[in-house]
Amino acid sequence: MKEYIRREIYSNRVVPYIGKEIIKVLTGQRRTGKSYLLFQTMDDIKVRYPDAPILYINMELMGFSHIQSYKDLYDFIKENSVADSLNFVMIDEIQQVEGFENTLRSLLAEGGYDIYCTGSNAKLLSGELGTYLSGRYIEIPVYSLSFVEFLEFHDLPMESESLNKYLKFGGLPYLKHLTLEDEIVFDYLSNINQSILFRDVVQRFNVRNIDFLTRLVQYLAKETGNIISATSISKYLKSQQISNSLNATINYLSYLTTSLLVSGAKRVNLRSKKVFEIGEKFYFNDIGIRNSIAGYSPFDLGQIMENIVFLHLRIQGFEVYVGQKDGKEIDFVASKGGETVYFQVALRIDEKKTMEREFGNLLSIKDNFRKYLITMDDFEGNSYQGIQHLSLMKLLTEFK
């Protein structure tokens, strides 16, 4: 078994379901550490079931290349199962098995299996399987490292220099094994981006216009945090002598979100609670990959900071939207467990106009839910009419 650093935020989400005949599905972008979370889960299982039979299948290893179809997967699991025992089955990158849902469905119906699987696909359990297994699976999104995890992985102190490294290089776990220097890290991140595009987008969705796909990703990186529509993308790329139909643009955006390279934050009307169909913001699921595409510039720090806040909220289990009210924009409307929290993000509030705008947008919301203004300022002001001012550092280390 490989050595690893425990990620307790995910252990806390998986452990309550150990021993239960409910499928645990860990979904996340490539290289976010899903395989190591399976190792972590196996160790947690051994604590509770010391003699438990555990079957581990990694579809990226040659040793399992003979498993091509759901029938191959089913036969392999049955051949290696222990009779009259609860068998723990771990399947890494399960989306590579054609028709895998048939195997999962059968094993669950037969009983005697506790199943865990990972996948680099946001729609892993969509369609028929999701309907058939409603209430019988739990999906656990896996993200790149939080800032607190980044400090632990790299053995760094909690200080501004460490935060700057996180904002620049992001949180892919393998960076622990690299020197945190621009050329080394960005070469690695560029390769990961190419792997995601070609393995999870081009191959999976049979994409033909690779130039358009590449330019689209570059556009999303440059426009991080700005409201984007398929129409605005098509117009921009057309101005660059790259054309594609509106439907194709919509499809390509869907491929990128399905591959978990980026995530969308839809806009919601805070009066009517209606979600807008057109126009949303896109954020990268690892800020380092975004920076490897668009370049890292101090002029982009506001966008980078906004992306980091979005990621932190998602890591903490929030559903995240962009708020719209009377022509004013609320950067993030985050919901979890029946609670809503509002966030406005600004680089600094050293000018009166900035202060009035950022606080004013939040003051226009008259409910009693928590409201925060997040900035890079070292100082933290007291609450203003119920709005609390937090530094980015404090949000990333204390807000859950």
Helix (H, G, I), strand (E, B) or coil at 308: helix
Q: Check whether residue 161 and residue 224 sit in a common domain.
A: yes
E-state strands within 123-190: 137-141
What is the tens place of the pLDDT at every residue in 68-109? 999 999 999 999 999 999 999 999 999 999 889 889 989 999
Q: What is the mean pLDDT of residues 207-217?
A: 93
Q: Check whether residue 223 and residue 126 sit in a common domain.
A: no
Q: Judge whether residue 380 has pLDDT over 70.
A: no
For 99, half-sphere exposure in the C-beta direction (CA atoms, 13 angstrom radius) is 11
pLDDT reported for residue 132: 67
The pTM score is 0.94
Residues 309, 12: Cα–Cα separation, whole Å: 22
Flag whether 1 is in a domain: no
Flag whether 280 is in a domain: yes
pLDDT reported for residue 127: 65
Residue 196 Ramachandran class (φ > 0 left, ψ -120 to 50 alpha, else beta): alpha
Domain of residue 14: give its range: 8-141
CATH code for the domain in which residue 75 is found? 3.40.50.300
Helix (H, G, I), strand (E, B) or coil at 386: coil
What is the tens place of the pLDDT at every residue in 231-276? 888 888 888 887 778 888 999 999 999 999 999 999 999 988 899 8
Select from 89, 120, 141 the last residue of a domain. 141
Contacts 24+ apart (CB under 8 A), 57-65: 57/89, 57/90, 57/91, 57/92, 58/92, 58/93, 59/91, 59/92, 59/93, 59/94, 59/96, 59/97, 60/92, 60/93, 60/96
- Token digits for 206? 């049979």
Q: What is the mean pLDDT of residues 276-303?
A: 94
